[in-house]
Structure 1
């Protein structure tokens, strides 16, 4: 190793380590993790960069960039954000379908009530017709 590769940069670590951490950070933010499950955690950052946790902890400038990004953009990975959007869309669709089902159920209940009333009236008229034996009753 050359003396310059071990020199500590303003990031608090060697230039090679700083590059590894920043590349790992970029991969995690873009949802392209190579060595971890892709969750946006500091544990995944040092594992993705393939450095020790202690080394990552010395890179205070990079950790500040990490924290700033998470504060501004949240901790959801691109895949998680897409999943959450899809879940929200499906929930909206489910709510709309439930509303439609409620309206249709009310219409069905109203139709069933009307059909039952008509059936009762029809049965009553048949009974009256059967009792009269087809005779015509004269009204005065």
Structure 2
């Protein structure tokens, strides 16, 4: 696995200003157990609601701290109420879902709700070359796993 870090000149030295600050560690048995995207019926006002449900699970034998799931979804979506705060970042909306410490055998499920333009609904249901977004499982500042957003079901 590669790690990307950013550095900038401070006037006297290079200082890291982006990317992980530690080296890759084991996933400790934590997995992104399921990711499902489901379109709700047409609202009739030119938008559709998409529900994203994802579950992270600790299949290991020890508690794992600082577990987060970060969702990058196409910028045309509008975040509504859900389990994870949203911020804009470039062309994507980013949701950060904090699971905190997961005990052995424990899991945490998050449900996110998005409003999308009606024209985009069809794009979410068919396979495309470029996915509508990505999901990252992070342990601390390390990416432990990554997945494309799946096709949406209705």
Which interval holds the TM-score relative to the shorter structure?
Answer: under 0.3
Which of the pair is proportionally richer in strand? 2
Q: TM-score, normalised by structure 2?
A: 0.19
Ranked by relative contact order (alpha carbons within 8 Å, sequence separation 6 or more), the top structure is: 2
Q: TM-score, normalised by structure 1?
A: 0.20
